[in-house]
Amino acid sequence: MTRQVQPGGKTVSRYRIVIKGVVQGVGFRPFVYNLAQVWGVKGSVLNSSRGVVIEAEAEENNVAGFLSELKNNPPQLSRISDYQLSKMPPAGYTSFVILASDPGDEKEALVPPDVAICADCAKEIIDRKDRHYQYPFTNCTNCGPRFTIINEIPYDRPKTSMASFSMCDQCAREYHDPADRRFHAQPTACPVCGPHVEVLDSAGRNVAGKENWLETCWNILQDGKILALKGLGGYHLACDAKNKEAVKALRRRKGRDAKPFAVMCRDLETVQKYCVAGEKEIELLISPLAPIIILRKHLQTRLNEGLPEELAPGLKTLGVMLPYTPLHLLLFSGPLDMLVMTSGNYSNLPLVKDNSRAAGELGGIADYFLQHNREIVNRCDDSLIQVVDGEPHIYRRSRGYVPHPVLVPRGEDEPVILGIGGEMKNNFCLLKKNQAFMSQYIGEIDSLEGEENLLTSFFNLRKLTDAIPEVVAYDAHPGYASARVARQIPARAYFEVQHHHAHLASCLAENGLGNEEVIGAILDGTGYGTDGNLWGFEILTGNYDDFQRRFHLAYVPLPGGEAAIRQPWRTAVAYLLAFLGEEGKRSAGLIFPEKNLDVIERMVAGGFNSPLSSGCGRLFDAVSALLGICRENTYEGQAAVELGEAIQETAGNDDMQTYPYETREGIIWPGQMLAAIIDDKMAGVPVQSISARFHRTLVSMVGEAVERVSGATGIKKVALSGGTWQNQYLFRTAKQYFSARGFEVLYHRQVPANDGGIALGQAMIAHWRWRKRCV
């Protein structure tokens, strides 16, 4: 019925195909156009609010080939979430055309994330005969800036920071040619018409321009100087990663004692010279997402030229990424093969993104500035991933991922909800239908600049996702700036969400669970509890609606509050005094002879400026300090990270033992464990073994509590959430423990287990509470 005999005597069929997902700004329409040429298909393609709509008419065999290619080999960057095919009566099309789309129709289309430079563009910039030779802003429909340059939707050049550059004839020709790789590549540019770089010294004097910037930068870096370079989502501070003095200077000037620096390597070969990279890690490194991957360093490098310890002091790992813009690739086309590439900011302030602020904010750190005149609209840090048992776990979800939504179980007709996130490692979440738009990494917001960054980023993402929240959720901590920011945003309802409940809900949501009750083992540093104390080692039961606290680690007073979090030795002393009495006091005197313990004792005894904490991070701090691994935290979680790193891969049988502890009346008491750890230390047991036993004891504590709750409730699903689970040894051991006992283990992959994930949980909890209120 739907066949028609063509003039040539052949019968044709016509189909309408509607494709949803990420299909805009990823070269989808030129791909469809070219495919239609190959298969002799007539018809059209257009972007609409329903997605990409294709009309395809040809002989049945040809349409079948066309459709199969479309489904099985779509453009690398596209993500097809839905594909609908309907047969239509033939229309007698005579050509295949790309139809202009109605801008109003594209509001639903998703803004694509930034994409690392593709192989074709990478070839052009090193080809002397190509017009893009050595041009640092080369891009095409398969690669280049997206999210970071978009002001408004629909995604079209005038709505981006490329609006001020008008295309030259040749660029315009490519842009309008459906067969060209740059067809509708919004940021397309060349040396004639596009943005340019310049190099400035710290006094703001121009020292090089587009002709000689590259050689100048090589000289600067080879001289051991620090270069602030404007990248895709903000400035990086760069120096030669193999130059110990340069790395030390960067640490000193940036006010960053020990927090590991990320590095960028020339190529995969260089990465592998210094680090161990498995299959999944390599796949991610070279992917268009180009995140930082945490890799284990080789114990000895093949060339026996060790990297400076100062890159990542005390750690066996290194955060590594590959060049992801043409500018980076060109930087590596010279004498350098590894550069420190750390965020261009001072201490905890937001990443610098504007030329006008670079000199002011980075002037005390950088010797030179490599900058350009393409504006960064949306600030976006590098993403950070660690591969655990072959699965990527995201620790910072930002460039390359944002604003791709995370899909969650939720209906079409629900209101938009904002979860504002936490106070550290902040990002926020806009929940629209079943899409959770997690913002880029916002970072610490305990400064005016941080608050401003949060608010501006919120307004921008709201615009790009067309998601105007009706309901707002925030952390229940009374002192959080994030909560203050949240309450400024107009909404119909506001919900306060307990920190660890948000962790639990975030884990449920990313694993696609409905409003189902599970057991949560939530381990982290600090979150405000419903009793006003600082929680962080919590065995809960709960769903999105509500939760119950079933077990927790015994409270310890933190002498000096924040000061104790910065100085783990204080927490160690508090633990000894609180749980081991006189014996503990004697041990503290032996272990910390140089410290004034009387002050700590008085604070602990009198409860003066000593908030109570059940945080797992604090227990790590205490053990780390007792073992002499880390007595001062110069970055969040340092003591815990270094204690985790102390475990040797080849743990012996002794390390499989656990220390004694007690669990009664819903409280886990670590006193006996601490006494045993001190005994082991005094007896000269290697720190590696003590650390392994400590980790296994934690798993046993969590495991026993979870099993008791499971015995009482019959629940066999356990969610592991909270930043402590980024400890690989702990995570793996716990996962094995629960799997071996018949539990289904839920954990984070797409959303951070740390506080970068709580915004999603807040939004999901607010969704369920709002529903309840509305019925």
590: tokens are: 């032996």
Task: Decide if residue 171 touches Zn ion (CB under 5 A).
Answer: yes
Annotate 458-482 with three-state secondary structure. Answer: HHHHHHHHCCCCCEEEEECCCCCHH
Residue with Cβ nearer Zn ion (98 or 193): 193
Residues between 511 and 550 that touch Zn ion (CB under 5 A): none
CA distance 286 to 302: 22
Task: Decide if residue 407 touches Zn ion (CB under 5 A).
Answer: no
* Residue 150 CB, nearest approach to Zn ion (Å): 18
Task: Decide if residue 142 touches Zn ion (CB under 5 A).
Answer: yes
CA distance 587 to 61: 82
Tell me the number of residues near Zn ion by CB under 5 A.
10
Identify which range of 65-73, 143-151, 564-572, 649-657 contacts Zn ion by CB under 5 A.
Answer: 143-151
* Residue 165 CB, nearest approach to Zn ion (Å): 8
Longest dimension (CA), the chain: 101
* Residue 277 CB, nearest approach to Zn ion (Å): 24
Residue with Cβ nearer Zn ion (67 or 140): 140
DSSP 698-722: HHHHHHHHHHHHHHHH---EEEEES
CA distance 200 to 240: 18
Residue with Cβ nearer Zn ion (187 or 469): 187
Residue with Cβ nearer Zn ion (288 or 314): 288
* Residue 159 CB, nearest approach to Zn ion (Å): 19
* Residue 288 CB, nearest approach to Zn ion (Å): 10
Identify which range of 49-57, 169-177, 325-333, 608-616 contacts Zn ion by CB under 5 A.
Answer: 169-177
Residue with Cβ nearer Zn ion (324 or 495): 324
One residue of 35, 63, 118, 464 binding Zn ion per CB under 5 A: 118
Hey, what amino acid is at 340?
A: V
Residue with Cβ nearer Zn ion (193 or 489): 193
Identify which range of 121-129, 342-350, 355-363, 749-757 contacts Zn ion by CB under 5 A.
Answer: 121-129
* Residue 174 CB, nearest approach to Zn ion (Å): 9
Residue with Cβ nearer Zn ion (121 or 208): 121
Identify which range of 136-144, 196-204, 455-463, 693-701 contacts Zn ion by CB under 5 A.
Answer: 136-144
* Residue 287 CB, nearest approach to Zn ion (Å): 14
Q: Are 611 and 557 in contact (CB under 8 A)?
A: yes
Q: How crowded is residue 414: how many other Cβ atoms within 10 Å of its Cβ?
A: 16
* Residue 571 CB, nearest approach to Zn ion (Å): 51
**DSSP assigned state of 297:** E
Residue with Cβ nearer Zn ion (140 or 720): 140
Task: Decide if residue 217 touches Zn ion (CB under 5 A).
Answer: no
One residue of 143, 295, 485, 577 binding Zn ion per CB under 5 A: 143
Residue with Cβ nearer Zn ion (99 or 193): 193
One residue of 99, 168, 282, 493 binding Zn ion per CB under 5 A: 168
167: tokens are: 């295309």
Report the relative pairing of strands 368-372 and 227-230 from DSSP bridges. parallel
**DSSP run (H or E) holding 14:** strand 11-22
Residue with Cβ nearer Zn ion (121 or 385): 121
Q: What contacts 278, CB < 8 A, 6 or more positions away?
A: 387, 390
236: tokens are: 């990086």
Residue with Cβ nearer Zn ion (145 or 529): 145
Identify which range of 110-118, 291-299, 539-547, 549-557 contacts Zn ion by CB under 5 A.
Answer: 110-118
CA distance 454 to 447: 11
Q: How crowded is residue 740: how many other Cβ atoms within 10 Å of its Cβ?
A: 9
CA distance 239 to 499: 38
436: tokens are: 């959770």
Annotate each residue in 177-216 with x if it binds Zn ion (CB under 5 A) or - if it does not, as one string: -------------x-xx-----------------------
* Residue 268 CB, nearest approach to Zn ion (Å): 19
Residue with Cβ nearer Zn ion (132 or 230): 132
Q: How crowded is residue 9: how many other Cβ atoms within 10 Å of its Cβ?
A: 6
Q: Are 188 and 174 in contact (CB under 8 A)?
A: yes
Identify which range of 5-13, 45-53, 137-145, 522-530 contacts Zn ion by CB under 5 A.
Answer: 137-145
Task: Decide if residue 121 touches Zn ion (CB under 5 A).
Answer: yes
Q: Are 328 and 321 in contact (CB under 8 A)?
A: no
Q: Which residue is it, tokens 């509607």?
A: 18
Residue with Cβ nearer Zn ion (12 or 190): 190
Identify which range of 168-176, 227-235, 459-467, 695-703 contacts Zn ion by CB under 5 A.
Answer: 168-176
**DSSP run (H or E) holding 332:** none
CA distance 527 to 29: 48
Task: Decide if residue 77 touches Zn ion (CB under 5 A).
Answer: no
Sign of the Cα torsion 356, 360, 361, 366 reads positive
Task: Decide if residue 227 touches Zn ion (CB under 5 A).
Answer: no
Task: Decide if residue 140 touches Zn ion (CB under 5 A).
Answer: yes
Q: Edge to edge, what strands does the sheet with 406-407 contain?
A: 406-407, 435-438, 429-432, 417-419, 471-475, 493-497
Q: How many whole angstroms from its chain centre is CA 659?
A: 35
Identify which range of 23-31, 133-141, 302-310, 566-574 contacts Zn ion by CB under 5 A.
Answer: 133-141
* Residue 194 CB, nearest approach to Zn ion (Å): 6
Helix axis angle, 671-682 relative to 687-713, nearest 10°?
A: 160
Annotate 557-621 with three-state secondary structure. Answer: ECCCCHHHHHCHHHHHHHHHHHHHHHHHHHHHHHHCCCCCHHHHHHHHHHCCCCCEECCHHHHHH
Identify which range of 69-77, 118-126, 224-232, 468-476 contacts Zn ion by CB under 5 A.
Answer: 118-126
* Residue 619 CB, nearest approach to Zn ion (Å): 49
Give phi and psi for 67, each to the nearest 5. Answer: -65, -40
Residue with Cβ nearer Zn ion (80 or 122): 122
In the complex, the residues that contact Zn ion under the rule CB under 5 A are 118, 121, 140, 142-143, 168, 171, 190, 192-193
